[in-house]
Structure 1
Amino acid sequence: MSKTIRIATRNSPLALWQANFVKAQLLKHHPSLSIDIIGMTTRGDQIIDTPLTKLGGKGLFVKELEKAILENNADIAVHSMKDVGTQCPPGLFISTIMARHNPFDAFVSNDYASLDAMPPNSIVGSCSLRRICQLQKHYPQLQFTPLRGNVNTRLQKLDDQQYDAIILAAAGLERLQLTQRIRVEIPPEICLPAIAQGTIGIECRQSDQRLHEMLAVLSDTDNTICATAERTINARLQGSCQTPIAAYATLQNSPTNHSQQATRTLHLKALVGTPDGRLILSAAQSTTIDADMTIDALLEKATTLGNAVAASLVEQGAAEILATLSTP
């Protein structure tokens, strides 16, 4: 029996790309499905002249989509996971985390090859406190100013010479076939990525078991582990776009000594900083992942690692920084 799945998504070009990507992947595995894409304009899309920090954060991009699912006007919502908070509304959950695309930030400029090549007082556009925090530390001679709008809007502002350069997520540019606009990727040593950056997640009703089973084929275990470790940082520190928090987890092969049971190492690095970049706290830890571990055990390991790294940041004074930022 065929089934229709209704995908709720924002109407921006990038969000629509993500929804159509999920649709195409689902149809590869379930060709008898009928899939409708429901484009929506969220409050975060409507108000583009005010920094997200003053509007209540990136949750503005997902609330309307979640409401559509809860009211049975949609079955799933496709999200960029860096926009998703640590807790879903009652009755909903992130059922599927897909394989990660490029997690890094991109330097985009019509005049300069890199941040290092920019003269003092050059204007760099970004509304991400995470990016500004880190980049101001390394490039205090540059001016970082707010930049809102979808990817094409931001690029147009650059082309209109409102900025000397802008910083965007590399994954978004790649998905929109705008890779040629990337002058250079910014390495994580300079700008650690946002939590779950480059990751597409699918949210749905907890009660829809049949839908969970259909979506399971799109899940990527490795990235689910990494995203869980990173998102645990946000959960422990109660992070939002008002808090300059970054985290990046990777899974690397470990020497096996010809053992049949290969082991890997889960690395996690995270940081918290003041918006001006004058104080940045960082922490990093690792844990071993065994090949025969169940998914529940793997996620427990990832959560434990995330909590340990977050605790290290708290010991260094992260709570004081975050308390200052949350004060009106």
Structure 2
Amino acid sequence: MSITRIGSRQSQLALVQTHWVQGELQKHYPDQEFPVVTMTTQGDKILDVALAKIGDKGLFTKELEQALLRQEVDVAVHSLKDLPTQMPEGLTLGAITEREEPRDALVLHPRWQGTPLAELPPGTVMGTSSLRRLAQLRHRFPHLTFKDIRGNLNTRLRKLDEGEYDGLILAVAGLRRLGWGDRVSEVLEPAVSLYAVGQGALGVQCRAGDEQVLGLLAELNHSETALRCQAERAFLRELEGGCQVPIGVHSQFNGEELTLTGAVLSVDGQQRVAGCQTGVVTQEAQAVDLGKALAQELRAKGAGAILQAIFAEVGRG
């Protein structure tokens, strides 16, 4: 019997996502085995430092990638938003799964339940670990107070419920996958918060040239999601941004036309450069070209200077 080992982080959300991939592979290939191998990443270990200050080159992915290269596992399941756009030589994305809702969610303490984000009073304490979310909310709602929060979703929700925060900004996808969709007070529209590149999709990584595994993973690839995410990742790669830089996107197909919107912000939310590109996208090369075109548009509008200031402040990781 053929055995394909699946690498996963140990967090509850990571395991839910990995077991979904395992189940899909088992469904398509019932005569094969897909054992899960878990490991802890640097981002899981360092919980008392803001993500942006640790450096973002593979915070939640490097250990899984090293296990792939050492042939300890055959595939690795990632939240695509955590996977750097530059992969180690010898690795490739074998599949991008169908996207869950990619937008951000407002999750409120019960005392604020039912209050729209736009109506929260000055000084309301919002928790987020993302510079992208922080910068966009500071831009729109400078009267709110923002406080860093780390830990898994259970920990964050507990801190919220204990009153340490008035609200949190989290990914809708993660909450739904863990069965906590009812905690979502408001789904944030793109005008308020553009989402992270790849947010809501899973990236299933494997060794380049491993034709047997690539053949297995082809069943999991969702072409529309893959094209959207390839455009988003090309946009981020062209800007040389990382997972912890205030860069947000929104992508949407209308027939074969893909519209990609993107923004770069300063951490304090004072500066914001945004743009939009639309084109026919039916294959990866067209998606990549669209992402590059949007990056070049934003650079022409001054995004480069904003990013340089951020890199100087928090480092490139």
TM over 0.5: yes
Aligned partner of 2:213 among 188, 211, 214: 211
What CA deviation, in whole Å up to 9, does each residue of 1:240-282 have, x standing for no partner?
A: 13420011211112xxxxxxxxxx2110000001011111100
2:7 matches 1:8: yes
Residue 207 of structure 1: how far off its partner (Å) = 2.5
Match of 1:275 in 2: 267
- Give the Cα separation in 2 of the matches to 1:218 and 1:98: 6
What CA deviation, in whole Å up to 9, does each residue of 1:63-112 have, x standing for no partner?
A: 00011111111111000000010111111111111111110001001222
Asked whether the 8 Å contact 1:124–1:143 carries over to 2, the reply is yes
Match of 2:177 in 1: 175
**Percent identity at matched positions?**
39
User: Matched residue of 2:5: which SS?
Assistant: strand
- Give the Cα separation in 2 of the matches to 1:33 and 1:240: 37
Match of 2:291 in 1: 306
User: Matched residue of 1:22: which SS?
Assistant: helix
- Give the Cα separation in 1 of the matches to 2:301 and 2:210: 43
Equivalent position amino acid for 1:4 in 2: I
**Which range moved further: 238-247 or 155-164?**
238-247
Unmatched 5+ stretches in structure 2: none
2:212 matches 1:227: no
Equivalent position amino acid for 1:311 in 2: Q
TM-score, length of structure 1 as denominator length: 0.92
Asked whether the 8 Å contact 1:5–1:75 carries over to 2, the reply is yes
Asked whether the 8 Å contact 1:246–1:272 carries over to 2, the reply is yes
Match of 2:89 in 1: 90
RMSD: 1.1
Aligned partner of 1:194 among 196, 200, 211: 196
User: Matched residue of 1:4: which SS?
Assistant: coil
Aligned partner of 1:125 among 120, 124, 127: 127
Unmatched 5+ stretches in structure 1: 254-263
TM-score, length of structure 2 as denominator length: 0.96
Residues 249-264 of structure 1: pairs in structure 2 closer than 5 A: 249-253=251-255, 264=256
Match of 1:59 in 2: 58
Match of 2:310 in 1: 325
Q: Which runs of at least 4 in structure 1 moved beyond 3 Å after TM superposition? A: none
- Give the Cα separation in 2 of the matches to 1:318 and 1:193: 18
- Give the Cα separation in 2 of the matches to 1:148 and 1:11: 16
Residues 75-86 of structure 1: pairs in structure 2 closer than 5 A: 75-86=74-85
Residue 58 of structure 1: how far off its partner (Å) = 6.0
- Give the Cα separation in 2 of the matches to 1:231 and 1:108: 27
